[in-house]
Amino acid sequence: MRRVPSLLLASTVGLAACAQDYEAPPGGLTTTFDTIGGVVHVTNIGTPPPARLAPVVSIGPKTLAETGSPDEFGGVTSVALGPDGDVYVADGRNFEVRVFGLHGAHRRTFGREGEGPGEFQALSSLAWAGDLLLTMDPMLGRVGEWSRAGEWLGQRRTRGRRTGWPGPRFYPVGPDELYRRALGAAYETSFGSALRSLYVGLNSRGATGDTLPELPEPPDASSSAIVCQYGEGYLTAFTIPFAPSFLEHPGPGGVMYSAFTRDYRIAVTRNHGADTVRVIQRPLPAEPVTDAEWEEGTRKFEEWYAENRSADCEPSGPTRYATKPILGPFEIATDGKLWVKVRRMDGDLWEVFDVDGRLLASVPAPPHAPTGVAPAFGPSDHLLTIRRDSLDLDHVDVWRLERGSS
């Protein structure tokens, strides 16, 4: 179980109640800054100025006749916009990095399957640290270093090997600052000893020395899954629909961003969550869970349990929540902007905040494939997303945030 910063916990109940009754003023945006006990509270109310995500390029096969072309990907695990303005795509199934211009032209490909220099047993993530392209190979336990031209420059060893798709990722938070997730020190749980995850800071010169431990959840946090034991020790699990969860993301300078998905309230903390320095909040109305949505969301569990009444489940059944979570994942762009995915019945949004917490834009979120691949952000407000078409092929879509246009 994971614990969140105390300031975030202390206010979630009251904020949720306010959010349900809140009605946005007609038009206009008001941002207020209040300092309470040394913590800056930034509140954004209303509608930000017009903005849109303008399409730049879509990289992917246009017809079946293009089979075998460089833009037909086996499976995209990561994308990044380079300092040269090119799009770098990690094709995890082909063990290659493919590079394209912002007009979609294929520039070059490097990497191959293997265990030697410049080779991959797995390619789960890539990101830029200054002029170095870093790649993560969780199977070989190494971070590779590459030039812009695709030359292998060396490696940094990581501890342990990991499997799974798409695998562990980098968390870029600045032009020469990023984190990778790693297993850290052992700690005791009710089930025995376990390993606690860490975020290890990196830059173009190596490890930065910043190590941020995963924030532990509170002991009274609600479960987001039902785990059932049945038969001769078999286990199966079911997701509880609309259950709130806890999100976190490392930030520049050793801070951590964290939030409960049920509240539009993001805390920025230091010292392992002990010190809150900033809270960014935006009261939006909560959306109710309908009877039809609840019945559809719990249908698989109810059907399974009807045939396995002797199963021992923890918890015994799904808890129904009155409202839906409002927050989706949030990311930090290399220029320090905070991009927040907002869940809305009429369509998800990306809302963008500056480094101080001012809301800059609110735009409809473009389609994104449920592949587990995080979006990426580049200079000049670029957003890179992965879209999967009807043929189950991945496309890389590049967008640019344009403010002041409808």
352 found inside a domain = yes
Both tokens of residue 94?
């082909």
- pLDDT band for 185, please (50, 70, 90 cuts): low
The C-alpha atoms of residue 105 and residue 123 are separated, in whole angstroms, by 23
pTM for this prediction: 0.88
Q: How many domains does the chain have?
A: 1
- pLDDT band for 211, please (50, 70, 90 cuts): confident
**Mean confidence (pLDDT) of the chain:** 88
pLDDT of residue 11: 42
- pLDDT band for 189, please (50, 70, 90 cuts): low
294 found inside a domain = no
Q: For residue 188, count other CB atoms closer than 10 A to its CB.
A: 8
| Residue 138: pLDDT over 80 | yes
What is the domain range of residue 36?
6-214+245-287+323-403
Kind and range of the H or E run holding 31: strand 29-36
Amino acid identity of 260? F
| Residue 114: pLDDT over 60 | yes
316 found inside a domain = no
Stretch 107-113: mean pLDDT: 97
- pLDDT band for 183, please (50, 70, 90 cuts): confident
21 found inside a domain = yes
pLDDT of residue 2: 43
346 found inside a domain = yes
The C-alpha atoms of residue 304 and residue 345 are separated, in whole angstroms, by 29
314 found inside a domain = no
| Residue 292: pLDDT over 90 | yes
Stretch 116-121: mean pLDDT: 96
Residue-wise pLDDT for 28-68, tens only, equals 899 999 999 999 999 999 999 999 999 999 999 877 665 67
Quote the percentage of the chain above a pLDDT of 90. Answer: 73
231 found inside a domain = no
Both tokens of residue 198?
């860490």
| Residue 24: pLDDT over 50 | no
| Residue 345: pLDDT over 70 | yes
The CATH number for 24's domain is: 2.120.10.30
Pairing of strands 382-388, 376-378: antiparallel
- Nearest to residue 264, comparing CAs of 334, 337, 322, 338? 338
pLDDT of residue 219: 64
Residue-wise pLDDT for 294-339, tens only, equals 999 999 999 999 999 999 999 999 999 999 999 999 999 999 999 9
Residue-wise pLDDT for 393-403, tens only, equals 899 999 999 99
Pairing of strands 119-120, 112-113: parallel
Between 361 and 221, whose confidence is greater?
361
Q: Please give the distance of CA 372 from its chain centroid, rounded to a whole number.
A: 9
223 found inside a domain = no
- pLDDT band for 101, please (50, 70, 90 cuts): very high
| Residue 3: pLDDT over 90 | no
